[in-house]
A and B are shown apart, each in its own frame.
Chain A
Amino acid sequence: MTPLDRFAAFLATKMGKALLFAAAILLAALVAWWLFASWTGGKTAKTETKLGAAQVEAATDSGRDAVGTVAGHARTSEEIDNLTRSNAHDIFEAEGAGAPVATAVRDAGKRSLCKRAAYRDSQQCLQQPSAD
């Protein structure tokens, strides 16, 4: 009896059949796992590629939006400065514009402004005489 004959005889036994069945189940499980891993791995890579492309597109759109919005703000600021100049002209042309402001109220006004963060370090405030 050759080893192959002995093996065939073993497989014919209950124990051999059970082992063969278990091996077949194990093999089927391994094949199923491999197929599943390949499928989900491919899907993840596809999703990552899609996400990367979508994020690049979003970043490009946001950059373009920011440039446009900042430019719009610059235009608005220019219009505001133009209006300030035009208003100043009208104010100085108005009757009474040249009337002097009383020294006490002027000084109080400047001292008040110099307490503000916007002016605290300005040259005029640093030279401001203290209130007596």
Chain B
Amino acid sequence: MTASSACSSLLPTEWQEGVDGAPLPEGDTVGDWIAFGDAQTGQLDKANDRYRAATGIVARCEQRDRDAIDRARPKFLGIF
């Protein structure tokens, strides 16, 4: 008996595109470049959060499938 659901199909398709980089600095000031660095760090935070969310969704789904199979498996004398 194998799990029937494809857990990865639960992930939004747009997540395959990844997280965009921050917009390149338009101006030529120190502030523009420092703000760009901060914005890029924000995009990194988004990417990390998305990675954790995706792996969490798939891992929990796979665990549920395993549990479902375990629960349905016939037990000897209803115990083992």
Contacts and interface: CB of A to CB of B under 8 A. Distances in A.
Say what secondary structure dominates the interface of chain A.
Answer: helix
A119 B40 CA distance: 12
B38 A88 contact: yes
Contacts of A113: 24
A118 B38 contact: no
Nearest to B50: A73
Interface residues of B, number: 42
Interface residues of A, number: 46
Contacts, number: 121
Contacts of B33: 101, 106, 109
Nearest to A56: B68
B10 A62 contact: yes
Contacts of B67: 54, 58
Interface of A: 43, 47, 50-51, 54-55, 57-59, 61-63, 65-66, 69-70, 72-73, 76-77, 80-81, 83-84, 87-88, 91-92, 94, 96-101, 103, 106, 109-110, 113, 116, 118-119, 122, 124-125
